[in-house]
Structure 1
Amino acid sequence: MFEERLKTSIWVSAEIRRLDVELMTAMVLHKGDKDRGLVLIKKNLLGPGCVLYIQSRDMDGNLGWRCPLGEEPVPEDKADSYIARQRDFDDDLWVIEVEDPKGTYQPQS
């Protein structure tokens, strides 16, 4: 059974615009497959470290978010190292960085 899904490039553009409205700076660090690439988000707390969010699918194929390095901030170099390993593994991966010194950002599904 074929299920039509929102193209990743459209979702990324909408998320960047949503963040712009919320007065948060966000930038695309790496563009993946425009139609089907998964997204990794680096929430940069600008001091305390970073929290990563990565899309993953459950057993039913539904997309959700998880924090691969935990929900507590990690040093930026550790986050960047994880991102580099993921990009080596998945060329289709999109990477977005969100500057969020207040720590309020949560990705939308």
Structure 2
Amino acid sequence: MARLRSDFWVAAHLRRCGVEGVSAVQRRRGAPEAGAIFIKVDRLDGRADLYGPAPQALVGADDDGTRRFEALMSEALPPDVEARLTREIRFDPDLWIVEIDDPQGRHFLDLAGG
């Protein structure tokens, strides 16, 4: 099954966050069709989480085209998350960044492996 374009996915995810009453913004626009998407969750208390695309090996053969994410950093210092994002951008300048501000750490993502 074909995967939803990155630009459509980001727009839909921003709307989903808004419906849930959670502040979210698109910080970086990547390649519209297939740019990797990274989600930073700022817990607003000096901690942040980072989620990125799950490796294809974790998605499995029954992939239905849904984007799956994995936790890359949990309850990290925001500057450390920013440093990781900077490295990711150097590796892939076409990536997207969505930032969510939520004290509860909600992200509304489909995570690989659970």
Q: TM-score, normalised by structure 2?
A: 0.83
Distance 2:99 2:30 in 1: 14
Is 1:66 paired with 2:70? Answer: yes
Instruction: Kindly report structure 1 stretches of 4+ aligned residues shifted beyond 4 Å.
Output: 60-63
Retained in 1: the 8 A contact 2:17–2:108? no
Q: Is the 8 A contact 2:37 2:95 kept in 1?
A: yes
The residue identity in structure 2 corresponding to 1:106 is: F
> Which residue in the other structure is 1:81 paired with?
83
Q: Aligned residues, how many?
A: 105
Other-structure match for 1:38: 36
Structure 1 residue 68 displacement after superposition: 1.6
Offset at residue 24 of structure 1 (A): 0.6
Displacement of 1:64: 2.2
How far apart, in 2, do the equivalents of 1:76 and 1:26 lie?
16
Which of 44, 49, 52 aligns to 1:51? It is 49
Q: Please say if 1:105 is aligned against 2:107.
A: yes
Q: Distance in 2 between matches of 1:5 and 1:102?
A: 29
2:68 touches 2:109 (CA, 8 Å); kept in 1?
A: no
Q: Which whole-Å CA distance do the structure 1 matches of 2:105 and 2:52 have between them?
A: 17
Q: Is the 8 A contact 1:38 1:94 kept in 2?
A: yes
- Considering only aligned residues, what root-mean-square deviation do their CA atoms show, in Å? 1.8
Amino acid of the residue matched to residue 72 of structure 2? P
- Give TM-score, length-normalised by structure 1: 0.86
Q: What amino acid maps onto 1:26 in structure 2?
A: A
What amino acid does structure 2 have at the position aligned with 1:32?
Answer: G
CA shift at 1:91, angstroms?
1.1
